[in-house]
Structure 1
Amino acid sequence: MNTIKLRVLTLAMLAVASAPALSESQTVPMPVPNEASIPKGPMGDAIKRGKALLTDTHKQLPKNVGNGLNCTSCHLNAGTTAYASPWVGLAGAFPEYRSRSGKIISLQERINDCFQRSMNGKPLAFDSAEMNAIMAYMKWLSTGVPTGTNVTGRGFEKIDTSLKPNPVHGKSIYTAQCASCHGAEGQGTKNPQGGYIFPPVWGKDSFNVGAGMARMYTAAAFVKHNMPLGQGGTLSAQDAVDVAAYFTQQPRPDYAARVKDWPKGDKPKDAR
């Protein structure tokens, strides 16, 4: 190797070595790709199928869904709404450590967590066409998000967990602000096809006690930013905590495997 080539190679190696590493906590703006960018052919078909499965989950995957919910009952606008647990960027965020599992898990495992908890159903096979379609959709949604970063708006909005809940006040808020869509008994509002226009928030067709939304402060964070639908941010943090304290404690399906959650002993105070 001549001197010039050696010098170029050395400079390139130094540039790589000195480049700042992407930290897990680094955040970037949340880009949402235009559907016109979905490619033609098998990959494009898989992306569209993945979106259909996630937005019409109850009907499309009856063997895997044990209640009346769709994935987009919580992941609003097909997983593209900030602070409504968007899927944008997730393809490059996993594998990731989850304290509830006490280990590093894959994106497929995280998806199946939702099927077993939020959907009160059964997991998908990792190599199934359905799982691959869901993964394809989430990969497409993550277009332009650097691997190892979190998008602004990932998960839910932070909420003050020192706030003391008042479920009696929460019931009055639910009656005034939530019951018109989600029903006086949390039963939701059905559509003519047998699904739900607005999902049930307790009862047999809702998420089970092992779901993240069954945790008071997690539910409060979602409510604070997103509810009432189209009027997100109009409730105070205290109101959100109060109404979450009311509806999360209503009857819902059990989840026996929750006894294995937080094996490291760091169980949150609002965990069911």
Structure 2
Amino acid sequence: MIRKLLTIALSGTFAFSAHGADYDATTQAYIDQLTSMGLPAPKENQLVHIPPTMADLEAADIHPELKKVIRKGYDLFTNTQQLRGEYVFNNMNCSSCHLGEGRMPFSAPIWPAAVTLPGYRGKNGHVNNLEERIAGCFTYSMNGKPLEYGSDNMLALSAYHQWLATGVEMYPKQPVYGRGFPAPERPAELSYDNGQKLYEENCAICHSEDGSGLRVDNQTVFPATWGDMSNNWGAGIVRLFTAAGFIKNNMPLGQPNSLTDQEAWDIAFYMDSQERPQDPRYTGDIKETLEKFGPTFHKHSLYGQAREKDGEILGDHDNTGEKPFLKPDSIRPRTFD
């Protein structure tokens, strides 16, 4: 039922306009569906884009070979577990974080990446293109190894991103409605105990009390929220504000914005206080790693901090989960000096 609801909410032809302009009927119906689900309406002058569906792809006047490649990208995006053991070493799919086939506003819809990259990324301190951005997801969120640049699979995933951006200009001047995981304002205090209570009441039914998620017939139904089968300490969602934004806008599934800001932040604090595989950028010493990445990335996570419950230093280990290596060779600097 939830999967059907998300599909209905996101189906339709593509269109975009600014919130102060006259919407066409399709765009207005799309906004009405999203707000009826509990998501906020667009703000003045935001770019509203309805990504095309796979049904739209079948009807599109493009070459059959291109359709085949986009279909392959969709298949890899929604079932990334087919790459398990070679490029993926946990229980995640791309669609585990980017809900609604990567089309859902406020769940980091993937089409903005296709029209805003190449662009500078603070996480690695250089300009990234779309392939490199996808590679980062495999490195951190999949606790894995990136697809080879220019490979058939990388081409397919890139094509799917770009297909969803059909009709949007490159480097749009308007702010994008529903981009990323926008977080509510952080409360003055966060509670581990309250986060645990709320997680057990709202999240454990799908993601299990131990955070291991749910798998059926070797396929992920609900992803792991921590542990060896979850993302590693370098993944974006270990940042508290990212996790809080995802939870507030998307969880419990099908009930966006049903939790208070405090509840979303407390659940994020509890979840991100649990262990997971090591950050691939780990130098072998957690203090040294924090010196390198604390000022940018880990200042927003609990990595290297003492856990409130028992004082354990989070991330102080060599565990890489099922991955038989720490750092894939794709993590490298880029400079034009």
Structure 2 unpaired stretches of 5+: 1-44, 283-288, 304-337
Q: 1:159 to 1:213 in 2, by over 3 A?
A: same
| Seq. identity, % | 36
Rg (Cα) greater in structure: 1
Structure 1 unpaired stretches of 5+: 1-25
SS across alignment from 1:82? coil
SS across alignment from 2:197? helix
Q: Which amino acid aligns with 1:255?
A: D
Note if 1:175 corresponds to 2:205: no
Work out which of the residue numbers 67, 70, 88 in structure 2 matches 1:47: 70
1:247 deviation in Å?
0.8
Q: Which amino acid aligns with 2:132?
A: E
CA distance in 2, matches of 1:201, 1:241: 15
Q: Which amino acid aligns with 1:256?
A: P
Work out which of the residue numbers 102, 105, 112 in structure 1 matches 2:135: 112
CA distance in 1, matches of 2:294, 2:193: 34
Alpha-carbon contact 1:163-1:238 (below 8 Å) kept: no
Work out which of the residue numbers 149, 154, 171 in structure 2 matches 1:126: 149
Note if 1:270 corresponds to 2:300: yes
Alpha-carbon contact 1:102-1:263 (below 8 Å) kept: no
Q: 1:190 to 1:143 in 2, by over 3 A?
A: same
Q: 1:221 to 1:261 in 2, by over 3 A?
A: farther
CA distance in 1, matches of 2:93, 2:249: 20
1:165 deviation in Å?
1.4
Give 1:231's aligned residue.
Answer: 255
1:268 deviation in Å?
5.7
Work out which of the residue numbers 206, 217, 238 in structure 1 matches 2:241: 217
Instruction: Give me the TM-score of the superposition, normalised by structure 1.
Output: 0.85
CA distance in 1, matches of 2:222, 2:234: 21
CA distance in 1, matches of 2:246, 2:260: 12
Work out which of the residue numbers 74, 82, 100 in structure 2 matches 1:59: 82
Q: 1:188 to 1:208 in 2, by over 3 A?
A: same
1:248 deviation in Å?
1.0
Alpha-carbon contact 2:187-2:262 (below 8 Å) kept: no
Q: Say how many residue pairs are matched.
A: 246
Alpha-carbon contact 1:227-1:233 (below 8 Å) kept: yes
SS across alignment from 2:221? strand
Note if 1:196 corresponds to 2:220: yes
Q: Cα deviations across residues 218-259 of structure 1 (Å, max 9, x unaligned)? A: 101100000000111000111000011001111110113154
Q: Which amino acid aligns with 1:53?
A: L
Alpha-carbon contact 1:88-1:151 (below 8 Å) kept: no
Q: Give runs of aligned pairs for residues 1-272 of structure 1, distance below 5 A.
A: 27-38=46-57, 39-60=62-83, 62-149=85-172, 151-161=176-186, 163-192=188-217, 194-257=218-281, 259=289, 265-267=295-297, 269-271=299-301, 272=303
CA distance in 1, matches of 2:73, 2:280: 29
SS across alignment from 1:151? coil
CA distance in 2, matches of 1:231, 1:33: 24
1:101 deviation in Å?
1.2
Work out which structure has the larger RCO, using CA pairs closer than 8 Å and 6 or more positions apart in sequence.
1
Instruction: Give me the TM-score of the superposition, normalised by structure 2.
Output: 0.69
**C-alpha RMSD over aligned residues:** 2.0
